């Protein structure tokens, strides 16, 4: 995929975001145009080259039909990627098989108190039968 110029522009915007001067962007195009691959390449580039801003890449899975499934998938993806960035371990970011419980154990092992707090509240709400996806809306 010959998208060096687009990738460079997006990398520049990410650098500006790290210092608070970036404007928002909107990436649009036809299906199959390469948007997702461009963003995957940007994620990998930012993952290895940036220290200040942790990149996050998420694609909504159309098979997720409930808010609960979507919230679980989104939280798991975010936590995997953020903990992976903290450890500089890209393979962790790609480890889709890790459950929220697995991520909780990993966060505890890494002494990531912020992640333990978020995951703990999520798991507690799930065990109590409340909607964990509503935890962070208030």
Express each pLDDT in 42-79 by its tens digit: 888 888 887 777 888 888 888 988 888 888 899 999 99
Average of per-residue pLDDT across 29-52: 86
Distance CA 73, CA 62 (A): 12
Write the pLDDT tens digit of every residue in 106-131. Answer: 999 999 999 999 999 999 988 888 77
- pLDDT for the residue 120: 94
- The ranges assigned to domains in the chain are 4-49, 67-134
The answer on pLDDT for 99 being more than 90 is yes
pLDDT at 138 > cutoff 60: no
25 to 6, 37, 41, 55, 124: CA distances (angstroms): 12, 17, 17, 15, 36
Q: What is the pTM of this model?
A: 0.80
């Amino acid at each position: 995929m010959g998208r060096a110029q687009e990738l460079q522009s997006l990398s520049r915007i990410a650098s500006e975001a790290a210092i608070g001067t970036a404007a928002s962007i909107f990436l649009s195009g036809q299906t199959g145009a390469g948007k997702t691959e461009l963003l995957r390449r940007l994620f990998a580039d930012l993952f290895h080259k940036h220290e200040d801003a942790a990149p996050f890449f998420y694609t909504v899975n159309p098979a997720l039909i409930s808010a609960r499934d979507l919230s679980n998938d989104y939280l798991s993806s975010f936590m995997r990627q953020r903990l992976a960035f903290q450890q500089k371990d890209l393979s962790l970011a790609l480890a889709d098989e890790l459950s929220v419980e697995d991520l909780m154990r990993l966060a505890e092992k890494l002494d990531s108190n912020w992640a333990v707090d978020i995951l703990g509240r999520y798991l507690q709400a799930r065990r109590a039968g409340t909607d964990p996806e509503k935890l962070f809306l208030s």
